[in-house]
Structure 1
Amino acid sequence: MSSNHSTITESLALVTMKANDLCNTVEDQLDVINEKLSSEEQRLSRTINNAKTQINNFIENDFKKEIPFYRISKNQELKVNGLLTPGTVGTPSNYSSRAGHYDFEIVAYTEHGVEPGNKHPEVQKMWNDLKSSVPKWNQPDFAIIRITAKDVADYPTDIKKSYSFYQWGITLNTDISYGTWIRAESGIVHFGYPSEETKVPTDGRWYERIIYGTDSNGGASYTVGPHFYLSKGASALIALPGVVAGRVPAGRWGYFERPIFEREQ
């Protein structure tokens, strides 16, 4: 009995040892499989990310360069009563404004054909900040205007209600871009509905600002824009504000031609 018992015990011990060896082998193989899977997942992730990068680069650097953009808002040059004369005061033509709350004045205009060093200092600063050089030639001429929010008793205390001037009832039947060149001089200034993203730094520099909008009603809607929001007493210089059909890439805001639409003929 003792001998048989010993034999059974040894057999069980051997089975246990073999089972442990098998478990260890399986665990080792699982580790190898997991390592291979992880490596494949990383490789697949890199492949997908590389493809995304190539597609995005193609869209931004090639495809969008071939898209013709056209303006759907009026008077991007910011003429006042048809003029670009510095010192002219008044709301730019084709714009609406709460005149009791804002003053508008043409500070300078670009002066096509004038030597860069002879242009108005603010015009030189604008070009240098945005394009790193001042062109002698540009078409068409356009104005820089100063918007000043008046320090009056009934001025809105909520920045979200302190929009300055805008254009009304622009047909919205495609994705659009609201854009401008802008320099905040004092106070709180926003281009677009106030948020941290729309606030313009008061650091003395000119900025390009572009905000995108989407047609959500299948062409049965309209937009109002572009909007500039200023706190009481604030002031800003702006140039080339407009609403453009399509999504204008960053760095490409400027003057856009505007067709004559059917309803205007």
Structure 2
Amino acid sequence: MSNEHTTITESLAKVATRANELCNSVDEQLSVINSTLTSEKQKMAAKTAELAAFTQAAVDESKVKIDALVDNGFRSEIPFFRVTKNQELKINGVLTPGTKGTPTGFANRASQYECEIVAHTQHGVDPDQKDPEIQKMWSEVHHTIPKHNQPEFAIIRLTAKDVADYPTVLSKCYSIYQGALPQNGIFTFGAWVKVEQGEVHMGYPSSDGSTRLPNDNKWHERMYSGSVLSGGAYYNFGPHFYLTKGASCLIALPGVVLGKVPEGRWGYFERPVFEREQ
């Protein structure tokens, strides 16, 4: 009886051992399966990300080609007309450096902003004899300095005065502009601008900083577009320049133009006489 009991005990022990071994084997297999699944998921995720990146790159490339086709092919043939006045920035009818005041046709909160002509384009003067700021403007915007240009236009310095009643909220710091301008399509707001000091925005200040102009002592072509919001009764204002207290910038050829002007094509645009002005 004792031997039989020992044999049964040993058998049960062997069964338990075998069961443990089997459980361990199952755990090991499950671990292998989980590891394989994790690896496959990672591979699939990587492939998905790769495919998404490839697709996005293809979409971006197509968009660039389409935009280039439209800009270089279609829009290059479109005549653009200006709706704002005095793109030359004459003050009191002249382009004389040192002249101060508000450029004709522009609104200006004169108690908070000062405008002064610093140079004009000097039609017919040899490039190396032109005002240094005129040379810098042409070379940085168009990479060449023309001897002749028509019409002549001015560079003005726009300065935000250090006065007690200057706005503390950037969206209230708008300076010269024109309007109201009736709008039933796309407008392009543009200018050549160089920031001298402080913070300067062209267009209503954006929270992402996209409207802020580089403070790098260089001239930049700057444009932004706005489309009609509602029917034929809509109107707009611009171009708007926002400056923090004490900031200053140089501006040339500001204006608002009908249509979407391609990059690199901002300059002087002719202005028709509109029916309501006759």
Counterpart in the other structure of 2:237: 224
Matches within 5 A, 1:2-17: none
Q: TM-score, normalised by structure 1?
A: 0.81
Q: TM-score, normalised by structure 2?
A: 0.77
- 1:214 corresponds, among 209, 227, 233, to 227
Q: Return the offset for 1:204.
A: 0.5
Following the alignment from structure 1 to structure 2, what is the Cα–Cα distance between the partners of residues 81 and 88?
A: 8
Following the alignment from structure 2 to structure 1, what is the Cα–Cα distance between the partners of residues 138 and 62?
A: 36
- 1:242 corresponds, among 237, 244, 255, to 255
Counterpart in the other structure of 1:31: none
Indicate yes or no: 2:167 matched with 1:138: no
Q: Count residues with an aligned counterpart.
A: 225
* Deviation per residue, 1:176-225 (Å, 9 max, x gap): 10000000000111111112011111111001110100012122111111
Structure 2 unaligned residues grouped into runs of 5+: 1-47
Following the alignment from structure 1 to structure 2, what is the Cα–Cα distance between the partners of residues 49 and 234?
A: 37
Counterpart in the other structure of 1:116: 127
Shift of the 52–117 alpha-carbon distance from structure 1 to 2, 3 Å rule, reads closer
Following the alignment from structure 2 to structure 1, what is the Cα–Cα distance between the partners of residues 75 and 228?
A: 19
Shift of the 127–261 alpha-carbon distance from structure 1 to 2, 3 Å rule, reads same
Secondary structure of the structure 1 residue equivalent to 2:133:
helix
Following the alignment from structure 2 to structure 1, what is the Cα–Cα distance between the partners of residues 58 and 217?
A: 44
Indicate yes or no: 2:69 matched with 1:58: yes
Indicate yes or no: 2:166 matched with 1:155: yes
Q: Return the offset for 1:55.
A: 3.2
Secondary structure of the structure 2 residue equivalent to 1:165:
coil
- 2:215 corresponds, among 202, 207, 218, to 202
- 2:274 corresponds, among 255, 261, 265, to 261
Following the alignment from structure 1 to structure 2, what is the Cα–Cα distance between the partners of residues 153 and 123?
A: 34
User: Of Structure 1 and Structure 2, which has the larger fraction of its residues in strand?
Assistant: 1
Indicate yes or no: 2:188 matched with 1:177: yes
Q: Return the offset for 1:63.
A: 0.7
- 1:73 corresponds, among 69, 84, 97, to 84
Secondary structure of the structure 1 residue equivalent to 2:177:
strand
Shift of the 194–54 alpha-carbon distance from structure 1 to 2, 3 Å rule, reads closer
Indicate yes or no: 2:138 matched with 1:127: yes
Residue identity (%): 56
Indicate yes or no: 2:83 matched with 1:83: no
- 2:202 corresponds, among 157, 167, 191, to 191
Counterpart in the other structure of 1:21: none
Q: Return the offset for 1:54.
A: 4.4
- 1:165 corresponds, among 159, 173, 176, to 176
Following the alignment from structure 2 to structure 1, what is the Cα–Cα distance between the partners of residues 197 and 90?
A: 24
Segment drifting more, 46-55 vs 158-167: 46-55
